[in-house]
Structure 1
Amino acid sequence: MVKLTSEPARFKDWQQANFDFVAQEYGKAKMVRFTLHMYEKTPHIHAVVVPLTEDRRLSAKDH
């Protein structure tokens, strides 16, 4: 990761690939937050998604 962060284009591509994965896996409309954290030794991403059903109800069971 340290090497990746030293290459801005690749690092940006890595961030976009992670965003695209979360959006495809859970749905972009279900993403509440997608945040890059650089304050620790290893950069990482926190993605927060909510389990919304097709009719926009909040339900982990029906997800």
Structure 2
Amino acid sequence: MRIKVDYKASKGIDGQVTEEKVPGVIVFEVPDEKFEDRSYIAEKLREETEKEDAEIVSYEQK
């Protein structure tokens, strides 16, 4: 299943990392049975964005 995730994460600008997290949106696939598993989606989000501090704001089926 494809899901759309709204998230916040720090952003690198000119070699510096922002203190304040900036919003972002990403779409990726998760197994149907993992749709309700927020911790799985959070881990997948960190993998997809390559940002360890990425936090889910909300997500929905796409």
Higher gyration radius (CA): 1
TM-score, L = length of structure 2: 0.31
Q: Bigger relative contact order, structure 1 or 2, given CA contacts below 8 A and separation 6+?
A: 2
TM-score, L = length of structure 1: 0.30
More strand by share: 2
